[in-house]
Amino acid sequence: LMNELVITCKAAVAWEPGKPLCIEEVEVAPPKAHEVRIKVVATGVCHTDWEYLFETGKGMKFRPFPLVLGHEAAGIVESTGPEVTRFSPGDKVIPLFLPYCGECERCLSPKTNHCKKNWTNMQAGVLADGTSRISCKGQQVYQFLGVSSFSQYTVVPDTSVAKIRSDAPLDKVCLLGCGVSTGYGAAINAGKVEKDSSCAVFGLGAVGLAAVMGCKVAMARRIIGVDINPNKFEKARQFGATDCINPRDYSKPIQEVVVEKTGGGVDYGLECVGSPAIMNAAFESTRDAWGTCVIAGWTETEVMSISVEKLLMGRTLKGTYFGGWKSVKDVPKLVDDYMNRKLKLDEFITEKLPLVQINKAFGLLKSGKSIRTVISLQDS
Protein backbone atom coordinates (compact mmCIF):
# COMPACT_ATOMS: atom_id res chain seq x y z
CA LEU A 1 0.00 0.00 0.00
CA MET A 2 2.87 2.39 0.83
CA ASN A 3 3.78 2.46 -2.86
CA GLU A 4 0.48 4.11 -3.74
CA LEU A 5 1.17 7.12 -1.59
CA VAL A 6 2.50 10.50 -2.59
CA ILE A 7 4.96 11.83 0.01
CA THR A 8 4.83 15.50 0.92
CA CYS A 9 8.19 16.80 2.16
CA LYS A 10 10.63 19.68 2.00
CA ALA A 11 13.01 20.40 -0.87
CA ALA A 12 15.22 23.27 -2.03
CA VAL A 13 13.75 24.37 -5.36
CA ALA A 14 15.60 26.42 -7.98
CA TRP A 15 12.75 28.34 -9.63
CA GLU A 16 14.99 30.12 -12.12
CA PRO A 17 18.70 30.42 -12.93
CA GLY A 18 20.77 32.90 -10.96
CA LYS A 19 18.39 33.08 -7.98
CA PRO A 20 18.89 31.53 -4.52
CA LEU A 21 17.10 28.26 -3.79
CA CYS A 22 13.71 28.34 -2.04
CA ILE A 23 12.72 25.82 0.62
CA GLU A 24 9.33 24.54 -0.53
CA GLU A 25 6.87 21.82 0.26
CA VAL A 26 6.96 19.34 -2.64
CA GLU A 27 5.08 16.17 -3.56
CA VAL A 28 7.14 13.11 -4.41
CA ALA A 29 5.19 10.53 -6.43
CA PRO A 30 5.50 6.77 -5.86
CA PRO A 31 8.18 4.91 -7.83
CA LYS A 32 7.17 3.45 -11.20
CA ALA A 33 8.60 0.25 -12.77
CA HIS A 34 12.35 -0.09 -12.18
CA GLU A 35 12.40 2.91 -9.83
CA VAL A 36 13.31 3.33 -6.18
CA ARG A 37 12.04 6.01 -3.80
CA ILE A 38 14.75 7.12 -1.39
CA LYS A 39 14.63 8.99 1.90
CA VAL A 40 17.66 11.25 1.48
CA VAL A 41 19.62 11.50 4.73
CA ALA A 42 22.64 13.54 3.69
CA THR A 43 23.85 15.35 0.60
CA GLY A 44 27.07 17.08 -0.31
CA VAL A 45 26.96 20.45 -2.06
CA CYS A 46 29.08 20.18 -5.20
CA HIS A 47 30.51 22.97 -7.34
CA THR A 48 28.56 21.57 -10.31
CA ASP A 49 25.27 22.27 -8.47
CA TRP A 50 26.38 25.87 -8.05
CA GLU A 51 27.39 26.16 -11.70
CA TYR A 52 24.04 24.94 -13.03
CA LEU A 53 22.31 27.56 -10.96
CA PHE A 54 24.63 30.50 -11.58
CA GLU A 55 26.61 29.75 -14.75
CA THR A 56 23.92 28.38 -17.05
CA GLY A 57 24.81 29.47 -20.56
CA LYS A 58 28.47 30.14 -19.69
CA GLY A 59 30.26 26.82 -19.27
CA MET A 60 27.05 24.85 -18.81
CA LYS A 61 24.29 23.72 -21.11
CA PHE A 62 20.84 25.00 -20.26
CA ARG A 63 18.81 22.79 -17.94
CA PRO A 64 15.04 23.21 -17.56
CA PHE A 65 13.67 24.96 -14.45
CA PRO A 66 12.13 24.70 -11.88
CA LEU A 67 14.75 22.24 -10.77
CA VAL A 68 15.79 20.41 -7.61
CA LEU A 69 19.59 20.30 -7.63
CA GLY A 70 21.86 17.94 -5.68
CA HIS A 71 23.52 14.78 -6.99
CA GLU A 72 25.98 13.68 -4.28
CA ALA A 73 24.00 11.89 -1.57
CA ALA A 74 23.17 8.90 0.60
CA GLY A 75 19.90 7.65 1.99
CA ILE A 76 17.56 4.79 2.77
CA VAL A 77 15.17 3.01 0.41
CA GLU A 78 11.61 3.99 1.36
CA SER A 79 9.77 1.94 -1.27
CA THR A 80 10.35 0.22 -4.59
CA GLY A 81 8.37 0.20 -7.81
CA PRO A 82 7.29 -2.86 -9.81
CA GLU A 83 10.04 -5.10 -11.24
CA VAL A 84 12.66 -3.89 -8.77
CA THR A 85 14.54 -6.95 -7.48
CA ARG A 86 17.80 -5.71 -5.97
CA PHE A 87 16.46 -3.31 -3.35
CA SER A 88 14.15 -3.47 -0.34
CA PRO A 89 12.81 -0.80 2.02
CA GLY A 90 15.43 -0.04 4.68
CA ASP A 91 18.47 -0.64 2.45
CA LYS A 92 21.19 1.99 2.72
CA VAL A 93 21.96 3.38 -0.72
CA ILE A 94 23.86 5.99 -2.70
CA PRO A 95 21.89 7.40 -5.67
CA LEU A 96 24.05 7.90 -8.78
CA PHE A 97 24.06 10.37 -11.66
CA LEU A 98 25.95 7.76 -13.69
CA PRO A 99 23.94 4.56 -14.28
CA TYR A 100 25.20 0.98 -14.54
CA CYS A 101 22.77 -1.39 -16.24
CA GLY A 102 25.23 -4.29 -16.29
CA GLU A 103 24.01 -5.40 -19.71
CA CYS A 104 25.08 -2.93 -22.40
CA GLU A 105 28.28 -3.06 -24.42
CA ARG A 106 29.85 -0.40 -22.19
CA CYS A 107 28.96 -2.06 -18.89
CA LEU A 108 30.41 -5.33 -20.22
CA SER A 109 33.67 -3.63 -21.27
CA PRO A 110 36.51 -3.07 -18.78
CA LYS A 111 37.53 -0.02 -20.82
CA THR A 112 34.80 2.35 -19.70
CA ASN A 113 32.17 3.23 -17.09
CA HIS A 114 29.94 5.19 -19.47
CA CYS A 115 26.63 3.35 -19.31
CA LYS A 116 23.98 5.32 -21.21
CA LYS A 117 20.85 3.80 -19.63
CA ASN A 118 18.15 6.54 -19.39
CA TRP A 119 20.96 8.98 -20.22
CA THR A 120 19.15 11.44 -22.47
CA ASN A 121 16.18 11.68 -20.12
CA MET A 122 18.30 12.08 -16.98
CA GLN A 123 20.31 14.86 -18.63
CA ALA A 124 16.98 16.52 -19.43
CA GLY A 125 15.85 16.24 -15.80
CA VAL A 126 13.25 13.48 -16.13
CA LEU A 127 13.03 9.71 -15.54
CA ALA A 128 12.53 6.87 -18.04
CA ASP A 129 8.91 7.72 -18.86
CA GLY A 130 9.76 11.35 -19.68
CA THR A 131 8.34 12.86 -16.48
CA SER A 132 9.75 13.79 -13.09
CA ARG A 133 8.47 12.38 -9.77
CA ILE A 134 8.72 15.73 -7.97
CA SER A 135 6.10 18.46 -8.19
CA CYS A 136 5.55 21.74 -6.40
CA LYS A 137 2.55 24.09 -6.41
CA GLY A 138 0.94 21.98 -9.11
CA GLN A 139 3.85 22.00 -11.54
CA GLN A 140 6.53 19.48 -12.48
CA VAL A 141 9.95 20.09 -10.95
CA TYR A 142 12.85 18.69 -12.93
CA GLN A 143 15.32 16.27 -11.34
CA PHE A 144 18.94 17.28 -11.74
CA LEU A 145 20.82 14.43 -13.49
CA GLY A 146 17.90 12.21 -12.50
CA VAL A 147 18.89 12.51 -8.82
CA SER A 148 17.73 15.71 -7.04
CA SER A 149 19.14 15.11 -3.58
CA PHE A 150 18.24 18.57 -2.22
CA SER A 151 14.90 16.99 -1.38
CA GLN A 152 13.98 14.91 1.67
CA TYR A 153 12.68 12.21 -0.71
CA THR A 154 13.50 11.47 -4.33
CA VAL A 155 12.88 8.75 -6.92
CA VAL A 156 15.66 7.33 -9.09
CA PRO A 157 16.01 4.50 -11.64
CA ASP A 158 17.12 1.18 -10.11
CA THR A 159 20.15 1.17 -12.45
CA SER A 160 21.32 4.40 -10.78
CA VAL A 161 21.46 3.24 -7.17
CA ALA A 162 24.28 1.54 -5.28
CA LYS A 163 23.30 -0.60 -2.29
CA ILE A 164 25.88 -0.19 0.47
CA ARG A 165 26.66 -1.87 3.79
CA SER A 166 24.25 -1.18 6.64
CA ASP A 167 26.90 0.15 9.06
CA ALA A 168 28.11 2.94 6.74
CA PRO A 169 27.61 6.49 8.10
CA LEU A 170 25.43 8.18 5.47
CA ASP A 171 26.62 11.69 6.37
CA LYS A 172 30.15 10.69 5.28
CA VAL A 173 29.70 8.21 2.42
CA CYS A 174 27.40 10.63 0.57
CA LEU A 175 30.63 12.22 -0.74
CA LEU A 176 31.30 9.07 -2.77
CA GLY A 177 28.30 10.00 -4.95
CA CYS A 178 30.41 12.52 -6.85
CA GLY A 179 33.42 14.58 -5.78
CA VAL A 180 35.61 12.15 -3.89
CA SER A 181 35.03 9.26 -6.28
CA THR A 182 35.77 11.52 -9.26
CA GLY A 183 39.10 12.87 -8.00
CA TYR A 184 40.28 9.61 -6.47
CA GLY A 185 39.43 7.68 -9.64
CA ALA A 186 41.06 10.33 -11.85
CA ALA A 187 44.39 9.35 -10.26
CA ILE A 188 43.82 5.62 -9.75
CA ASN A 189 41.75 4.61 -12.80
CA ALA A 190 42.22 7.24 -15.48
CA GLY A 191 45.79 8.33 -14.73
CA LYS A 192 46.91 4.94 -13.42
CA VAL A 193 49.46 6.81 -11.31
CA GLU A 194 52.54 4.68 -10.67
CA LYS A 195 54.68 4.16 -7.58
CA ASP A 196 57.55 6.67 -7.20
CA SER A 197 56.13 8.95 -9.91
CA SER A 198 55.67 12.72 -9.73
CA CYS A 199 52.22 14.33 -9.94
CA ALA A 200 50.74 17.82 -10.03
CA VAL A 201 47.11 18.39 -9.01
CA PHE A 202 45.55 21.62 -10.25
CA GLY A 203 42.72 22.85 -7.99
CA LEU A 204 42.49 21.77 -4.36
CA GLY A 205 38.75 21.59 -3.83
CA ALA A 206 37.09 18.28 -2.99
CA VAL A 207 37.91 16.71 -6.36
CA GLY A 208 41.52 17.91 -6.25
CA LEU A 209 42.09 16.76 -2.67
CA ALA A 210 40.65 13.36 -3.61
CA ALA A 211 43.08 13.25 -6.55
CA VAL A 212 45.94 14.03 -4.14
CA MET A 213 44.70 11.17 -1.95
CA GLY A 214 44.64 8.87 -4.99
CA CYS A 215 48.21 9.80 -5.90
CA LYS A 216 49.30 9.04 -2.35
CA VAL A 217 47.49 5.67 -2.29
CA ALA A 218 49.26 4.90 -5.60
CA MET A 219 52.53 5.73 -3.74
CA ALA A 220 53.62 8.63 -5.92
CA ARG A 221 56.92 10.08 -4.69
CA ARG A 222 56.11 13.72 -5.28
CA ILE A 223 52.65 15.31 -5.26
CA ILE A 224 52.47 19.01 -6.04
CA GLY A 225 49.23 20.82 -5.16
CA VAL A 226 48.43 23.94 -7.19
CA ASP A 227 45.80 26.48 -6.11
CA ILE A 228 45.38 30.26 -5.98
CA ASN A 229 43.92 29.92 -2.45
CA PRO A 230 46.81 29.21 -0.04
CA ASN A 231 44.29 28.39 2.72
CA LYS A 232 43.84 25.04 0.98
CA PHE A 233 47.52 24.06 1.32
CA GLU A 234 47.46 22.72 4.87
CA LYS A 235 44.55 20.42 4.00
CA ALA A 236 46.33 19.28 0.83
CA ARG A 237 49.39 18.29 2.89
CA GLN A 238 47.13 16.24 5.19
CA PHE A 239 45.96 14.35 2.10
CA GLY A 240 49.51 13.72 0.91
CA ALA A 241 50.75 16.75 -1.04
CA THR A 242 54.53 17.08 -0.74
CA ASP A 243 54.65 20.65 -2.12
CA CYS A 244 52.02 23.33 -2.66
CA ILE A 245 52.35 26.26 -5.03
CA ASN A 246 50.26 29.36 -5.69
CA PRO A 247 50.31 30.58 -9.32
CA ARG A 248 49.87 34.16 -8.03
CA ASP A 249 53.31 34.00 -6.38
CA TYR A 250 55.03 33.79 -9.77
CA SER A 251 55.38 36.11 -12.73
CA LYS A 252 55.65 33.26 -15.25
CA PRO A 253 53.00 30.70 -16.26
CA ILE A 254 52.46 28.03 -13.63
CA GLN A 255 53.32 25.20 -16.04
CA GLU A 256 56.83 26.67 -16.43
CA VAL A 257 57.17 26.77 -12.64
CA VAL A 258 56.15 23.09 -12.35
CA VAL A 259 58.51 22.04 -15.16
CA GLU A 260 61.36 23.92 -13.49
CA LYS A 261 60.67 22.52 -10.01
CA THR A 262 60.57 18.95 -11.32
CA GLY A 263 63.49 19.13 -13.73
CA GLY A 264 61.41 18.61 -16.86
CA GLY A 265 57.80 18.18 -15.76
CA VAL A 266 55.63 15.76 -13.80
CA ASP A 267 54.70 12.25 -14.92
CA TYR A 268 51.01 12.98 -14.21
CA GLY A 269 49.06 16.23 -14.32
CA LEU A 270 45.50 16.18 -12.95
CA GLU A 271 43.14 19.07 -13.71
CA CYS A 272 40.40 19.38 -11.08
CA VAL A 273 38.95 22.83 -11.79
CA GLY A 274 37.07 22.73 -15.10
CA SER A 275 38.88 25.68 -16.71
CA PRO A 276 40.33 25.34 -20.23
CA ALA A 277 43.30 27.58 -19.35
CA ILE A 278 44.12 25.40 -16.34
CA MET A 279 43.63 22.24 -18.42
CA ASN A 280 46.26 23.58 -20.80
CA ALA A 281 48.58 24.41 -17.90
CA ALA A 282 48.16 20.89 -16.48
CA PHE A 283 48.93 19.39 -19.88
CA GLU A 284 52.03 21.56 -20.37
CA SER A 285 53.31 20.79 -16.87
CA THR A 286 53.75 17.11 -17.78
CA ARG A 287 57.02 15.58 -18.88
CA ASP A 288 58.07 15.14 -22.49
CA ALA A 289 57.89 11.56 -23.84
CA TRP A 290 55.48 10.02 -21.34
CA GLY A 291 53.56 12.69 -19.48
CA THR A 292 49.88 11.95 -18.87
CA CYS A 293 47.30 14.66 -18.23
CA VAL A 294 43.87 13.73 -16.88
CA ILE A 295 40.99 16.22 -17.02
CA ALA A 296 38.51 15.71 -14.15
CA GLY A 297 37.18 19.29 -13.87
CA TRP A 298 33.72 19.78 -15.34
CA THR A 299 32.68 22.10 -18.14
CA GLU A 300 30.25 21.31 -20.94
CA THR A 301 30.52 23.99 -23.57
CA GLU A 302 34.07 25.30 -23.40
CA VAL A 303 36.95 24.42 -25.69
CA MET A 304 40.60 23.92 -24.79
CA SER A 305 43.49 24.52 -27.17
CA ILE A 306 46.72 22.57 -26.88
CA SER A 307 50.08 22.67 -28.56
CA VAL A 308 50.07 19.81 -31.06
CA GLU A 309 53.85 19.51 -30.82
CA LYS A 310 53.62 18.85 -27.07
CA LEU A 311 51.15 16.06 -27.84
CA LEU A 312 53.33 14.64 -30.63
CA MET A 313 56.26 14.44 -28.23
CA GLY A 314 54.52 11.53 -26.49
CA ARG A 315 52.12 13.03 -24.01
CA THR A 316 48.68 11.58 -23.33
CA LEU A 317 45.63 13.77 -22.71
CA LYS A 318 42.52 12.09 -21.37
CA GLY A 319 39.25 12.86 -19.67
CA THR A 320 37.39 11.02 -16.95
CA TYR A 321 33.76 10.95 -15.86
CA PHE A 322 32.98 9.91 -12.27
CA GLY A 323 36.63 8.83 -11.95
CA GLY A 324 36.17 5.81 -14.20
CA TRP A 325 34.24 3.86 -11.54
CA LYS A 326 31.45 1.58 -12.70
CA SER A 327 28.96 3.25 -10.42
CA VAL A 328 26.61 0.59 -9.02
CA LYS A 329 29.38 -2.00 -8.92
CA ASP A 330 32.29 0.06 -7.59
CA VAL A 331 30.76 2.55 -5.13
CA PRO A 332 30.02 -0.17 -2.51
CA LYS A 333 33.73 -1.14 -2.68
CA LEU A 334 34.72 2.49 -2.12
CA VAL A 335 32.44 2.51 0.94
CA ASP A 336 34.31 -0.60 2.16
CA ASP A 337 37.64 1.17 1.56
CA TYR A 338 36.43 4.05 3.72
CA MET A 339 35.23 1.69 6.47
CA ASN A 340 38.63 -0.05 6.34
CA ARG A 341 40.44 3.33 6.56
CA LYS A 342 42.05 3.08 3.14
CA LEU A 343 40.22 6.18 1.99
CA LYS A 344 39.52 9.43 3.83
CA LEU A 345 36.09 11.10 3.83
CA ASP A 346 35.71 12.89 7.18
CA GLU A 347 38.57 15.25 6.34
CA PHE A 348 36.70 16.68 3.33
CA ILE A 349 33.76 17.82 5.44
CA THR A 350 34.23 21.37 6.67
CA GLU A 351 30.59 22.19 7.54
CA LYS A 352 27.33 20.47 8.37
CA LEU A 353 24.11 22.40 7.84
CA PRO A 354 20.36 21.67 7.77
CA LEU A 355 18.48 21.97 4.47
CA VAL A 356 17.10 25.41 5.38
CA GLN A 357 20.68 26.76 5.22
CA ILE A 358 21.44 25.41 1.73
CA ASN A 359 22.08 28.90 0.31
CA LYS A 360 24.69 29.47 3.01
CA ALA A 361 26.40 26.28 1.79
CA PHE A 362 26.57 27.73 -1.75
CA GLY A 363 28.10 30.90 -0.31
CA LEU A 364 30.77 28.96 1.58
CA LEU A 365 31.59 26.98 -1.57
CA LYS A 366 31.95 30.10 -3.70
CA SER A 367 34.10 31.92 -1.14
CA GLY A 368 36.55 29.00 -1.05
CA LYS A 369 36.07 28.72 2.72
CA SER A 370 34.73 25.19 2.67
CA ILE A 371 35.75 21.98 0.95
CA ARG A 372 32.45 20.16 1.41
CA THR A 373 29.36 21.17 3.28
CA VAL A 374 27.14 18.20 4.10
CA ILE A 375 23.44 19.02 4.31
CA SER A 376 21.38 16.90 6.67
CA LEU A 377 17.94 16.60 5.15
CA GLN A 378 15.93 15.10 7.94
CA ASP A 379 16.78 17.74 10.60
CA SER A 380 14.94 20.56 8.89
Q: pLDDT tens digits, residue range 328-346?
A: 999 999 999 999 999 999 9
Q: Is residue 206 located within the same domain as residue 96?
A: no
Q: How confident is the model at residue 164 (pLDDT cuts 50, 70, 90)?
A: very high
Q: Which residue has the higher pLDDT, 4 or 211?
A: 211
Question: Hey, which bits of the chain come out as E strands?
Answer: 7-13, 22-28, 35-44, 67-68, 72-80, 92-95, 134-136, 139-143, 153-157, 161-163, 198-202, 222-226, 243-245, 268-271, 292-295, 316-319, 349-354, 372-376
Q: Is residue 167 located within the same domain as residue 203?
A: no
With residue 53 as reference, give the H or E element that holds it. Answer: helix 47-54
Q: Which residue has the higher pLDDT, 329 or 56?
A: 329
Is residue 23 assigned to a domain? no
Q: What is the largest CA-CA distance in the chain?
A: 68
Q: What does the mean pLDDT of the chain come to?
A: 96
Question: Which DSSP string do the residues of 65-120 spell out, in sequence order?
Answer: SSEE---EEEEEEEEE-TT--S--TT-EEEE-SS---SSSHHHH-TT-----TTHH
| Nearest-5° Cα angle at 143, 138 to 148 | 110
Question: Which DSSP string do the residues of 220-254 spell out, in sequence order?
Answer: -SEEEEE-S-GGGHHHHHHHT-SEEE-GGG-SS-H
Mean pLDDT of 88-113: 98
What whole-number percentage of the chain has pLDDT above 70?
98
Q: pLDDT tens digits, residue range 203-246?
A: 999 999 999 999 999 999 999 999 999 999 999 999 999 999 99
Q: Is residue 239 located within the same domain as residue 366?
A: no
Mean pLDDT of 48-52: 91
Q: Is residue 124 located within the same domain as residue 200?
A: no
**CATH number, residue 58:** 3.90.180.10
pLDDT reading at 98 higher than 60: yes
Give the contacts of 380 (CB within 8 A, at least 6 positions apart). 10, 23, 152, 354, 355, 356
Mean pLDDT of 170-183: 98
The total number of structural domains in the chain stands at 2
Mean pLDDT of 65-69: 97
Q: Is residue 158 located within the same domain as residue 14?
A: yes
pLDDT reading at 298 higher than 70: yes
Is residue 26 assigned to a domain? no
CB atoms within 10 A of CB 75: 28
Domain final residue pick, 293, 319, 345: 319
Q: CA 92 → CA 28, 131, 166, 301, distances in Å?
A: 19, 26, 6, 36
pLDDT reading at 105 higher than 70: yes
Q: How confident is the model at residue 40 (pLDDT cuts 50, 70, 90)?
A: very high
How deeply is 42 buried, as exposed, middle or buried, from its count of CB atoms within 10 A (0-12, 13-18, 19+)?
Answer: buried
Distance of CA 229 to the CA centre of its chain: 21
pLDDT reading at 97 higher than 80: yes
Is residue 140 assigned to a domain? yes
Sheet with strand 243-245: strands edge to edge: 243-245, 222-226, 198-202, 268-271, 292-295, 316-319
Q: Is residue 79 located within the same domain as residue 156?
A: yes
The pLDDT value given to residue 380: 54
Mean pLDDT of 130-156: 97
CA dist 189 and 124 (Å) reads 28
Give the contacts of 123 (CB within 8 A, at least 6 positions apart). 145
What whole-number percentage of the chain has pLDDT above 90?
92
Q: Is residue 11 located within the same domain as residue 149?
A: yes
Short-list 150, 134, 193, 183, CA closest to 320: 183
Q: How confident is the model at residue 2 (pLDDT cuts 50, 70, 90)?
A: low
Q: Could you list the residue range(s) of the whole structural domain that residue 140 is in?
A: 7-18+43-179+324-376
Q: Is residue 160 located within the same domain as residue 12?
A: yes
Q: Is residue 14 located within the same domain as residue 154?
A: yes
The pLDDT value given to residue 4: 66
Q: What is the DSSP letter of 4?
A: G
Q: Is residue 88 located within the same domain as residue 133?
A: yes
**CATH number, residue 260:** 3.40.50.720
Domain final residue pick, 319, 345, 364: 319
Instruction: Please say whether the beta carbons of 298 and 49 come within 8 A.
Output: no
Is residue 29 assigned to a domain? no
Instruction: Please say whether the beta carbons of 349 and 371 come within 8 A.
Output: yes
Q: Is residue 175 located within the same domain as residue 61?
A: yes
Is residue 35 assigned to a domain? no
Is residue 30 assigned to a domain? no
Q: Is residue 162 located within the same domain as residue 280?
A: no
The pLDDT value given to residue 58: 73
Is residue 364 assigned to a domain? yes
Is residue 186 assigned to a domain? no
